[in-house]
Every structure is written in C-alpha cells, then in structure tokens.
Chain A
Amino acid sequence: GQQVMQIPQYQHVQEGEDFTTYCNSSTTLSNIQWYKQRPGGHPVFLIQLVKSGEVKKQKRLTFQFGEAKKNSSLHITATQTTDVGTYFCAGPNTGGFKTIFGAGTRLFVKA
C-alpha cells in the first residue's frame, strides 16, 4: 500500500544549529502537509504545499515540495528550544479520501 516515510526518526541538535527532516512518498501526492506536535500535545497544522517545486517560508522554517511531488523537506534555521517536538508530513492517498502520515521526526534541542 501507499507509504509516507520520514527520516531521520530522531535528531538531537544544539540550540542555534540547523535541522532538516525529509519526507518521501511511494506515490505522487496532490498536496503535502506538515504538522508539529509538542510533547504531550496534539498535532498542529503548519503548512500545505501543492505545486511542484514549491517553496514556502514561515520565519525560520522553510518547506519544499519536490519537482516530482513525491518528496518534501522541512528545514529549521538556528533552532530554538521552542522548536522541540515531533514534525509530521502527511498526504492524501491515491483515492483522495484518506490522509497518510509519516512516522514523524522527533527534534530535541539542547540549550
């Protein structure tokens, strides 16, 4: 079945270092979403990408959607302790009525 894979599973960084998580789908996606979940919390929607090669920025966060619309990345510049949590990518299945989530990348930031 359709799969959405994320790497790495965990990342430890020193505050101020950059961080990147990668998302790869086994099929072409019509859109891809990114969510952040703080420890003990619920996923919160960050952004959606729709166009091939699209790049969007939110302050220190940069999101990219691959040309083939099968992969995506989230890059955080100069991490802060407030960035800790798990970052998920998600996309619709081929039929379009189910959203498949990646397993997430958990970010730890050491002050």
Chain B
Amino acid sequence: NAGVTQTPKFQVLKTGQSMTLQCAQDMNHEYMSWYRQDPGMGLRLIHYSVGAGITDQGEVPNGYNVSRSTTEDFPLRLLSAAPSQTSVYFCASSYDNPRTLLDGYTFGSGTRLTVV
C-alpha cells in the first residue's frame, strides 16, 4: 500500500513550457484534490474530483487543468508555465468528500516546481 504517490519530486520549467504533475493513489479513495503551498499562504485548492469522470475548480484554478479518467489517477496539467506558478504542489485524497470526511486527507510527498 503506497498511499499517494506524486511524481516528479522536483521540476524546473522555463516560462511558457507545459508539463503534467502525476498523482496516483492505491487506497480506492473517491475524492482527490490538488493544492499549492506558498510561504505564509497555507494550502490553496486548485482543483478537486469527487470521483472518476468528475472534476471541479477550487480557489486558484487559472492556468491549470485536470482530468480523472480512473479512480486511481488525478494528473495536474500546467498549460503554459509562469513564474507565479513556482510553488510546492500537493495531491491529497480521501474516502469521502469534505463534509462527511472521517479520517482526514492523505497527502502525497509533493512536487517542488520552479518556473524561470
């Protein structure tokens, strides 16, 4: 049982490049989400999914796309990287949605992205 696996752990991109951050979980969790963490700003929700085939926007969705073709995978795509997207990105999953959540989220180890 690996939990939530994120790849890559580190990435440097040039402005305008695109890339996909991978997130996979093996716990059969229905709910998955992406957060970005910036100093002094806590964790801000980018996109979330309540199940395969269903995604929705969080607080800061601009510049990012997601898809959920399977229960296990929830990739985050940066369409055209900008320096403002330099951040640490965390994927998190849970059995339930936030209102009925019982055991909290399981977080991946994060991807540290730098856009130059």
Which residues of A are in contact with B by a Cβ distance under 8 Å? 1, 6, 9, 30-31, 33, 35, 41-48, 88, 90-93, 96-104
The answer to whether A88 touches B42, judged by C-beta atoms less than 8 angstroms apart, is yes
Q: Chain B: how many interface residues by the 8 Å CB criterion?
A: 29
Contact present for B42 and A35 (CB under 8 Å):
no
Interface residues of B in 53-110 (CB under 8 A from A): 56, 58-59, 90, 92, 97-110
Contact, CB under 8 Å: A99 / B98: yes
Whether the Cβ atoms of A44 and B99 lie closer than 8 Å is: no
**Do the beta carbons of A92 and B35 come within 8 Å of each other?**
no
Q: Which of A33, A42, A98, A102 contacts B42 (CB 8 A)?
A: A102
The answer on a CB contact under 8 Å between A101 and B43 is yes
Total number of A-B contacts with CB less than 8 angstroms? 73
The distance in angstroms between the C-alpha atoms of A6 and B40, with both chains bound, is 11
B49 CB to closest chain A CB, in angstroms?
10
Is the CB–CB distance between A96 and B102 below 8 Å?
no
The smallest beta-carbon distance between A110 and chain B, in angstroms, is: 22
Q: Would you list 23 pairs from A and B whose C-beta atoms are within 8 A, ordered by A residue?
A: A31-B101, A33-B104, A42-B109, A43-B43, A43-B105, A45-B103, A45-B104, A46-B104, A48-B102, A88-B42, A91-B98, A92-B97, A93-B98, A96-B100, A97-B56, A97-B97, A98-B58, A99-B45, A100-B59, A102-B42, A103-B40, A103-B42, A104-B42
A35 with B104: CB separation less than 8 A? yes
Partner of B40, one of A9, A45, A91, A101: A9
CB contact under 8 A between A48 and B103, given known A102-B42, A104-B42: yes
Other contacts beyond A43-B90, A100-B59: 18, CB < 8 A: A30-B99, A33-B105, A41-B109, A42-B90, A42-B107, A42-B109, A45-B103, A48-B103, A92-B97, A96-B97, A97-B48, A97-B50, A98-B98, A100-B45, A101-B42, A101-B43, A103-B41, A103-B42
